[in-house]
Amino acid sequence: MRSVKYSGAGAASEVIALDDVAAPEPGEGEVLVKVGAVGLNPVDVKIRAAAHDFGVIRYSDRPGWDVAGVVAAVGPGVQRWAEGDRVFALAAFPDAAHTLAEYAVVADADLAAVPDAWSTAEAGAAPLAALTAWQALEAAGVREGQRVLVLGAAGGVGHLAVQLAHARGAKVVATASPAKHDLVRDWGAAEVVDYRDDEALAAVEPVDAVIITVDDTLPPRQAVVDGTAVITITGLTEEVAQRLGSWGASPVSRILVKADGAQLARIAELADGGDVVVHLDSRFGLDELARAQERVESGRVTGKVVVIVVPEV
């Protein structure tokens, strides 16, 4: 089967290659997936450039974490899937997985059934970003009737955070550049603010929760009041945490997404209910992975970048 292999640290155009290797075999509790589509995330490109672990996030020269496809075989002890089932997953994260290949082995516990409402490309693009959004909203305790500010609403995580918060019955306030405001409203935001417009940012009224998806970005001061939960998926220094705490924010925390097939199944239910769409910024073939990663590296992605591995899946 065709599989991606990195040759070391460096630029996408220099270190990404395809080679031919034997397809893996599923072990106990594992499923062999014929891979249709794989989403790309900033962590894929950051870890490729560095070629070493980032804390608990494992580097592998055979990369890929997101996946959607069909079950090709099941290992011993796997009861709930049969050959041909449409499945998707965030595989193993933050451990290494190897989904950028024509076949991938995925733990049963990481898998969920692809919602009927989503294409294979949409399902492959979603898992890491959708689970991050879900787990951030859980950490913030977002519930019906609350006001939630999503900083970076047009990106992979942000566009799903807007929709999942809206699906919980929250009123979503979002930041995005003006060209993306209509889309962000379509995803369910009640208010959209240009992140470069200081006056508009200063007019955002207090919120119950803030989800930060953009590096080095803080919510506007007046939006944070006693008890505002601030959850970031980017870096959080002790100094920034203390400053947010001095504004009254509580809790203040950084989360790292974890693979979770059960949560993915709940997101799939919302998708089938029409509450969550995956916006595809762009699609690339497996042999165009370097260009796909460069698109993610641009930082300008709207929604998700997806790699189509076996087109007929």
Ligand X SMILES: NC(=O)c1ccc[n+]([C@@H]2O[C@H](COP(=O)([O-])OP(=O)(O)OC[C@H]3O[C@@H](n4cnc5c(N)ncnc54)[C@H](OP(=O)(O)O)[C@@H]3O)[C@@H](O)[C@H]2O)c1
**Which residues here bind ligand X, judged by CB under 6 A?**
41-43, 128-129, 132, 151-152, 154-158, 175-177, 180, 195, 213-215, 217, 233-234, 255-257, 296, 299-302
Q: At closest approach, how far in Å is the CB of 161 from ligand X?
A: 9
Q: At closest approach, how far in Å is the CB of 25 from ligand X?
A: 30
Q: At closest approach, how far in Å is the CB of 153 from ligand X?
A: 7
Considering beta carbons, is residue 12 or 176 the nearer one to ligand X?
176
Considering beta carbons, is residue 21 or 218 the nearer one to ligand X?
218
Determine the residue type at 159. H
Residue with nearest beta carbon to ligand X: 155
Considering beta carbons, is residue 15 or 129 the nearer one to ligand X?
129
Q: Is 184 left (phi over 0), alpha (psi -120 to 50) or beta?
A: alpha
Q: At closest approach, how far in Å is the CB of 80 from ligand X?
A: 27
Considering beta carbons, is residue 70 or 128 the nearer one to ligand X?
128
Q: At closest approach, how far in Å is the CB of 184 from ligand X?
A: 10
Considering beta carbons, is residue 43 or 207 the nearer one to ligand X?
43
**Pairwise CA distance, residues 21 & 245, whole Å:** 51
**Pairwise CA distance, residues 187 & 237, whole Å:** 31
**Pairwise CA distance, residues 18 & 5, whole Å:** 6
Q: At closest approach, how far in Å is the CB of 47 from ligand X?
A: 10
**Residue 248 vs residues 101, 148, 198, 270: alpha-carbon distances, Å:** 47, 16, 22, 33
Considering beta carbons, is residue 74 or 193 the nearer one to ligand X?
193
**Pairwise CA distance, residues 130 & 264, whole Å:** 8
Q: With contact defined as beta carbons under 8 Å apart, do 93 and 257 qualify?
A: yes
Estimate the crossing angle of helix 289-297 against helix 42-50, to 10 degrees.
110
**Pairwise CA distance, residues 112 & 123, whole Å:** 10
Which tokens is 51 given?
Answer: 């070629």
Determine the residue type at 7. S
